[in-house]
Amino acid sequence: MKKIIIINGPNLNLLGIRETKIYGKSSLEDIKKISINKCNDLNLNLSFVQSNSESEIIDYIHKTEKDFDGLIINPAAYTHTSLALLDALKAISKPKIEIHISNIYSREEYRKKSLTSSGVDGIICGFGPNSYILAIEAIKRLI
């Protein structure tokens, strides 16, 4: 069975209560449940993690090369600021997809630039929690 990891960045632990007009009412736990169900349907083994720490996220990315067949990442605010995440993503050869709940290209000007996207195979954004489902389907095809 192929193994994937979904890495969630800072403040995503506050989903469901944080800026619900932008991010919706689904909690990260809700998203984890639908992601597990989708992975079960596609015969994928899922590791689902969240961290507010850039260094922990980098460690998860590094583990992908040895421990997983593919990576899905929602870098959250680090999308727009972290060269360190970009370098970590570029350092691994496994398939990688960046996702966002909101459409970052229809938001504030500073959110329209993704530093991390040049380190992944593709980006999915703007579909709410379904961004995760679409990414799982895509990563299955890539691996």
Dihedral over alpha carbons 94, 114, 124, 90 (to 10 degrees) = 0
* 16, 83 Cβ separation under 8 angstroms: no
Among 23, 60, 78, 132, the active-site one is 23
100 given a catalytic annotation: yes
78 given a catalytic annotation: no
Closest by CA to 111, choosing from 97, 125, 128, is: 125
Among 60, 78, 100, 132, the active-site one is 100
Which active-site residues does the annotation give? 23, 100
